Structure 1
Amino acid sequence: MINVRVFKAPDDPEACMRFYEGHLKLLEIYFGIAKITSGSADWMHHEDTIVVIVENEDGTKTYGGARVQLADGQLPLPIETAIGKYDPKIHTYVRKGSAEVCGMWNSKEVAGMGIGSQILSRVAVVLISQLPVDLVHALGAPITARMAKRVGFAIDTSLGNNGTFYYPKDDFIATAMVIKDAYALPFADPKERELIYDLRENPIQTKVEVGPKGSYEVNYSLLIPNLHTANQFNSRERK
């Protein structure tokens, strides 16, 4: 059994640290990257960051995770810090009412199961329906871009070189992506949209998922606890 749960970052410091250490280790060992903006630890104390974490059944081991960070004028979105010096438009583009899916990773232990390519990208979009968000950003490597397209993202050609940047190193290409209708998801794969809608309507459920290496059971707990702080975002004046 694999558990997938969500929480506001300050509500579970221990799980945040497991997330952070696992993500950092993956970047350093497998990609040779010591520091990227989504690898910063500032989000751990940010009320408007929602964490998705994938764990074993007793919650002692973390297999991966992702974050949904709301733009609130307090903590810049990682995409702002990453590409702002290359394309300053991102700073005016990001506004209250927007968010970023960021920090997505999975451990080598579950590689090939579809945790990153299916579960995390799907769940991140599922959560948008609980948040005061109508515009969603993402910045990722080519493989991440392929996953993102399936769940409704489109390449944001208004940024960079038709949406691409050399980041975080000169030999890496990152693609800026966006969802402009996070509820209807008009560009999502139809089958993927059905799965997203099912999880939105039934955020607490257990189901069998099928990945490249076979099937496995997933226990979803996708109702964000203590959401009143993030919901105050609704009353903030948008730019």
Structure 2
Amino acid sequence: MDIEERVNLMARNTEEIVTMDELRMLLETVSRPRAYWGFECSGLMHIGMGLVCGSKIKDVARAGFDFTIFLADWHSWINNKLGGVMENIRLCGEYFKQCFEALGVTSAGNVRFVWASELADGIEYWEKVIRIAKGSSLLRIRRALTIMGRELDMADIETAWIFYPCMQAADIFQLELDMACGGIDQRKAHMLARDVAEKMGWRKPICLHTPLLSGLQPP
């Protein structure tokens, strides 16, 4: 495929790519770019995750990206998914792996799974989390907390939740990614990563966002 064919493949059925010019430049200059999609391990796989996310991961992998499916066990724990029991969260992550494999998402050979806990074992990761927190106002982080899928009131916020957007941005930099993929509900976290990248002199990630569910009408 030429560059325009690769761009069109990735852009189909998306809400936005931030930015198209950056994506074209990446494809012109990097032979094996890297992308990821992060998933909380939170329960049964639903249609949006299996079809929307799964098909887009396959598109991006076909376009020549090395793709990481990121199993966010620590983030799920912070967000109290599955009762906040790590054993249940890890079991759910293994189930997600089997689902994606059954859907053929990993068949191209350039798709891998990484656990958040693999990053959390390293001091360099936590240094990035702190640098992101120091480079962001509390108001900016609070605005990004909606990525956790919660309606938030200050009286109900756990202190640990403040780490969540900083960790999500740090995931991108620790994995040395060129592009972050996610549903449009993850836009605030990805924009936080782009903002922080400018301040820190880090590589600014391209962001690809999909709708949460596909409709029946043509695009």
Structure 1 and Structure 2 fold alike (TM over 0.5): no
More strand by share: 1
Higher relative contact order (CA 8 A, sep 6+): 2
TM-score (norm 1): 0.27
